[in-house]
Amino acid sequence: MPHHALSIYWFDRDMRLADNPALVAAAANSERLLLVHILDTADPRPEGGAAKWWRHGSIAAFQESLTPFGQTLYLFQGEPEAILKQLLTETGATAVYWNRRYEPHTRTRDTAIKAALKAAGIHAESHIGDVLQEPHTVNKADGTPLKVFTPFSKAADALPFHAPAPRIMALPPQPVQKPTTALPLAALGLLPTKPDWAGGLRESWMPGEHAAAQRLKDFIGGALSGYAEKRNLPYYTSTSRLSPYLHFGEITPRLAYQAARATGDSYDVQRFIAELYWREFSIYLLWHFPALPVQNWRASFDAFPWREDAAALKAWQRGQTGYPIVDAGMRELWHTGWMHNRVRMIVASFLVKHLLIPWQRGEEWFWDTLVDADAANNAASWQWVAGCGADAAPYFRIFNPVTQGEKFDPEGRYVKQWCPELKDVSQQFVHQPWEAGALLRPKGYPAPIVDHSHARNRALEAFEKIKKEAV
């Protein structure tokens, strides 16, 4: 017998019917269920443009998936606590359910909301969010947080696995009376208008739970075999490309982990699960170090001699650095809202070590242009590449963009896909077209904005500076 005549289920980044533990609990304990999504205008760091585009698609796809259940997802915009209180008053609901989030703002927000609801006599119930293990459950024996990936991943994997919740097959009916202040999807203003820059995103992606499940199925049956060897090759579909679906909660890491494990314990499976734990490690770091998106994790880097160079930053953002593997990655990002992980490391290293531009500028650009822009993963990854983050050894490593291109895109197929100016350049020169000679140099492609040898020496001198100051 349901405990509540009417409950509210509050969706955030978890618009799915599979492995949704809070929705399972709400459905089991409610005679009627009001489904709501609130675009949080109190968030001090709103989503970037690409992520907003994805959220729009995620909402639309989930609204469609609710049709067979006779349910509706009602949309609101504002401060979640105020809107939930208004809905409770208007509907007479006696319970609110949701899945937890782990960023600083959402943690503070949800803790306050839960306390306020309970004080008002409302049942407030939250469940494990989109993680394998919740951040507060993984620690050293003395209770302090782990700061190195391998011990963290081993400790997390040793904990009991949270089996995915069963897929929702039925939902209680919605309230007879509709909320009076619900908004149409267009009113949330998530899509670009003038100019409409999202054409490449529409070509590249289909948001939603159904697309996420198909992506996982295709990966498990395809690129997972050979993943360990091919995942660094950007031209091929060699990675799962699940990151935006995981970020928006259209699929959970638990489902991905379970699907991979079901195929056995090959090295490919181990490498894929390690990547799931890298995502988890980033969430864990942000939980314990909430200033991660803005402050150096290693305080010694506060003395690093960064340079502010608007022209160089703009060249990097537009894929006009003169280094093909860097430019290809930045153009792929702008067109598709995504970039291959190996190339992300190369372009990030170029910005912070060749140009000595603060990692925060790169983090900000990725935040606005990535469909999978995630507060934890974005900040932790940028700090790792810059050398100032957790487990970032050797911090003084400087990627050579030419040799990186030759190693991971030996035929130049990825580079030529995104830099058509280089389509006729031979394999010998495709990663260093300035060496091709005046007659063979591609027209319309820029010369390098910085010399690699000079940039490398300058970066090493900068690292020496902070090393001496640390002593």
Q: Could you list the active site residues? A: 275, 278, 306, 341, 359, 382
Report residue 433: phi and psi, to 5°: -60, -20
Q: Given strand 30-40, what is the order of strands in its sheet?
A: 73-78, 30-40, 4-11, 95-99, 123-127
Q: Centre a 10 Å sphere on the Cβ of residue 294 and count the other Cβ atoms it contains.
A: 10
Residue 350's nearest CA partner among 212, 280, 249, 451 is 451
Alpha helices in 289-323 (DSSP H): 310-317
Find out whether 260 and 224 touch, Cβ atoms under 8 Å.
yes
At a CB cut-off of 8 Å and minimum separation 6, what does 400 contact?
452, 456
Q: What is the DSSP string of 333-398?
A: HHHHS---HHHHHHHHHIIIIIS---HHHHHHHHHHH-TT--HHHHHHHHHHHHT-STT--STT--
Owner of token pair 């291959």: 340
Structure token digits, residue 382: 């940028």
Task: Give the integer Cα–Cα distance in Å for 103 and 111.
Answer: 12
At a CB cut-off of 8 Å and minimum separation 6, what does 455 contact?
353, 354, 355
Q: What DSSP character marks residue 301?
A: G
74 three-class SS = strand
Owner of token pair 């009916």: 173
CA–CA distances in Å: residue 244 to residues 5, 317, 357: 36, 21, 27
What's the N-to-C CA distance of the chain in angstroms?
67
Task: Give the integer Cα–Cα distance in Å for 434 and 448.
Answer: 8
- 210-224 burial, b if ≥16 CB within 10 A, otherwise e? bbbbebbeebbeebb
Q: What is the DSSP string of 233-251?
A: -TTS--S---HHHHHTTSS
